[in-house]
A and B are shown apart, each in its own frame.
Chain A
Amino acid sequence: MTMGRGPDEAPLLRVEDLRVEFVSEDGAVHAVDGVSYEVRSGRTLGIVGESGSGKTVCSLTTLGLTRHQGARVSGRILFEGQDLVTLPEDELRAIRGNEIAMIFQDPLSSLHPLYRVGAQLIEAVRAHRDVSKAKARERAIELLGLVGISDPARRVDDYPYEFSGGMRQRAMIAMALANEPKLLIADEPTTALDVTVQAQILALIERLQRELGMAVVIITHDLGVAAEMADEIAVMYAGRIVETASAERLFAAPEHPYTWGLLRSIPRLDAQRAADLTPIPGTPPSLINPPSGCHFHPRCPYAQPDHARIDPALEPVPDDPSQFVACLLETQVRRRLWQQLGAGDTPEQALAAVGLPSGDEAGAPA
């Protein structure tokens, strides 16, 4: 799978068939189940999915942070040619916070409540640079200024509880940028913030990405955030990537019924007030006993009987080699369904229009 410009340009991060399992009392949890993607320098990949789709575990594993939770990891995570899955802990530690940095969803609980913001920044600098405390402190003040905190020389001595939610996330970003990483992983960076602050934080990440030339992986359940930030988008469902495409392509011509579901469940300002949102029926599946065949088939309105049996592979879409989809429906059928949905049809009407039996009928014996 290639996502991005020239195929000759080596990706910064290449994840190959990554699998992450956690042992629980009820059995192995297949949190990530064969995921592959690439990120190139200076580009942004959006990973989109519901809670529990494995998107966070994926990126925590990149930094080796699931090791402490007793995860079983297989596959490869190649960062500049080194496999992070097998890298010894101390070598991985030298990469964490240095070449790959991460920011998290809840900036309050992610900052240590009892250490000053400055002290936490100084620590981040000194974890990888052999500099004096005074030098690191100067750098901390500089970083706080860089992320737009006013009067950084004074605020550097504040405790996290003295910062607002947005400022805390700015401080987290400052900490992540302390050593000018090549890759920034942002895990739901705006989910815990007010809408107005969300936009500021996203703009800040974009600005810093331009200035520092970082690659960014942004993990979100919010397609709006992905549309705003990402060059390429990967849609995850039940531990797998079900569709991946450039951002423009994904919004203009989505191929996977799950992506349709995500798109159709976003409120739109230009839609009629009376027009109902269309939620995806059901709940995300158990990752201990995932559904057979296509993992999405129990919730898919277009599922056909054999979809419970056959496990679809992520394959390129015929006329766009940069778009990949894991769906058992014929490409032509999918596109007609999407057209019908765009014209305002319900899933049942769309199915009838393309001449397929609906989910209920398809399940019944002929």
Chain B
Amino acid sequence: MIRYIIRRLLWGVLSLIVVAALLFILFRVLPTGNPALLRAGRDPKPKLVKEIEVALGLSKPLPVQFWDYLKEIFLHLNFGYSYYSQQSVRSLIAERLPPTISLALGAGVLWIVAGFGIGIVSALRRHSLWDRAAMGGALVAISAPEFWLGLVFLYLFSSDIGKFKLLPGAGSYVSLSSDPWKWFTSLIMPWIVLAAGAAAIFARLMRGSLTETMREDYIRTARAKGLPERDVVRHGVRAAVNPLVTLFGLELAALLGGAVIVETVFNIPGVGRLSYQAIQSADFPVIQGTVLLAAMFVIVANIVVDISYAYLDPRVRYS
């Protein structure tokens, strides 16, 4: 098991290097991406561009540049400096991380609780009115893009422009430490919008998976033992969860992509909006930093999922 974890971690590092290499090619090798040219202002003299190239180390041969670039990222955790604010990318991201973590964690909890909960009730009451409504709603939630769903929510419920002024609208985010209640209420809509798609997919998967496991022989055994129906369902759910765990890592990546959009729609000062702004202004070091951060997060999450799978299903033991 330990060897498996170490191997997975090494593969994770390799994946990160590949991501970094792709970013390098995108921003330095392809002609549109010459950072010196981007920094030199409008219609620069070639001499100025040359000077900046030397200052940024761009005049060295590409392999040397790549080596320096990797060293900076992996040894010094230095992702460079923003072309616009001149702040270090690391501090920019660190500043923006708390809102994003608030958003992602809350949406993650909502995703799991709502997805599993709705799926379980639907599986146990198949073809009931509840089931039809829930599965119909899930279809809508899967089909609706976040930016549209976000705008609809703002239009309906935000306290400034909403039809029903129930919740604080866009730009109302405050940090947890300054005002916990306001933090919570300002995130309710973003959480729902971000979690909706993933929760809907999981509700449908859970419904299918639990419907199958509730037909298994061991469920009959559980009933024959005289267990209360609550425990019988627990037996079914325990077995139904496993096939969904492997999908968790994949959905997580989609959730991160969604966070960029949700932070933009709701004007939350997080990493997602940072990357959106960076993309708009071609602030390559910032884009690079946020992409690497997201890649690392997805890789680590998938390793955690695979390891936890071994604990959830004793028949699977990695060697």
Contacts and interface: CB of A to CB of B under 8 A. Distances in A.
Interface of B is mostly: helix
Contacts of B313: 114
9 closest Cβ pairs, A-B complex = A97-B226, A96-B226, A97-B225, A109-B217, A112-B218, A110-B217, A124-B225, A102-B224, A127-B226
B217 A159 contact: no
B226 A95 contact: yes
A325 interface: no
B126 to A, nearest CB: 12
A115 B238 contact: yes
B62 to A, nearest CB: 52
B225 A110 contact: no
Contacts of A95: 226
A214 to B, nearest CB: 15
B92 to A, nearest CB: 45
Contacts of A178: 225
Interface string B212-227: 0000111011111111
Interface in B210-249: 216-218, 220-228, 231, 235, 238-239, 242
B228 A109 contact: no
Interface of A: 60, 63, 65, 68, 93-98, 101-102, 104, 106, 109-115, 123-124, 127-128, 159, 161, 172, 175, 178
Contacts of B216: 109
B125 to A, nearest CB: 13
Contacts of A159: 314-315
Contacts of A68: 223
Contacts of A102: 224
Contact of A114 (B224, B225, B238): B238
B226 A104 contact: no
Contact of A112 (B222, B223, B224): B222
B219 to A, nearest CB: 8
A112 B225 contact: no
B220 A114 contact: no
A219 B217 CA distance: 17
Given A65-B220, A96-B225, A101-B224, 13 more contacts: A63-B224, A68-B223, A96-B224, A104-B217, A109-B218, A110-B218, A114-B238, A114-B239, A115-B235, A123-B231, A124-B225, A159-B315, A161-B314
A161 B218 CA distance: 14
B47 to A, nearest CB: 70
Contacts of B225: 96-97, 123-124, 127, 175, 178
7 contacts: A65-B220, A96-B226, A110-B218, A112-B222, A114-B239, A127-B227, A127-B228
A112 B221 contact: yes
Given A111-B218, A113-B315, A65 B224 contact: yes
A120 to B, nearest CB: 8
B226 A93 contact: yes
B222 to A, nearest CB: 7
A54 B288 CA distance: 68
Interface residues of B, number: 21
Contacts of B314: 114, 159, 161
A65 B239 contact: no
Nearest to B231: A123
Given A109-B218, A110-B218, A114-B314, A96 B223 contact: yes
Nearest to B314: A159
Contacts of A96: 223-226
Interface in B243-264: none
A60 to B, nearest CB: 8
Nearest to A126: B227
Contact of B224 (A94, A97, A109, A128): A97
A159 B228 CA distance: 23
B221 A110 contact: yes
Contact of B228 (A93, A110, A114, A172): A93
Nearest to A99: B226
Given A112-B238, A114-B313, A159-B315, A65 B223 contact: yes
Nearest to A64: B223
Contact of B220 (A94, A104, A113, A115): A104
Contacts of B231: 123, 127
A112 B226 contact: no
A297 B51 CA distance: 103
Interface in B173-220: 216-218, 220
A231 B239 CA distance: 40
Contacts of A60: 220
A113 B218 contact: yes
Nearest to A98: B226
B242 A114 contact: yes
Given A104-B217, A109-B216, A109-B217, A123 B238 contact: no
B312 to A, nearest CB: 8
Contacts of B226: 93-98, 124, 127-128
Contacts of B227: 93, 97, 123, 127
A65 B226 CA distance: 10
A101 B223 CA distance: 11
A109 B242 CA distance: 17
A156 B285 CA distance: 58
Interface in B144-200: none
Q: Name the residue among B221, B228, B242, B315 with the largest chain A CB count within 10 angstroms.
A: B221
Nearest to A106: B217
A66 to B, nearest CB: 10
Contact of A104 (B221, B238, B315): B221
Nearest to A121: B225
B315 A161 contact: yes
Contacts of B224: 63, 65, 96-97, 101-102, 104
Contacts of B223: 63, 65, 68, 96
Q: Name the residue among B217, B224, B228, B314 with the largest chain A CB count within 10 angstroms.
A: B224
A110 B238 contact: no
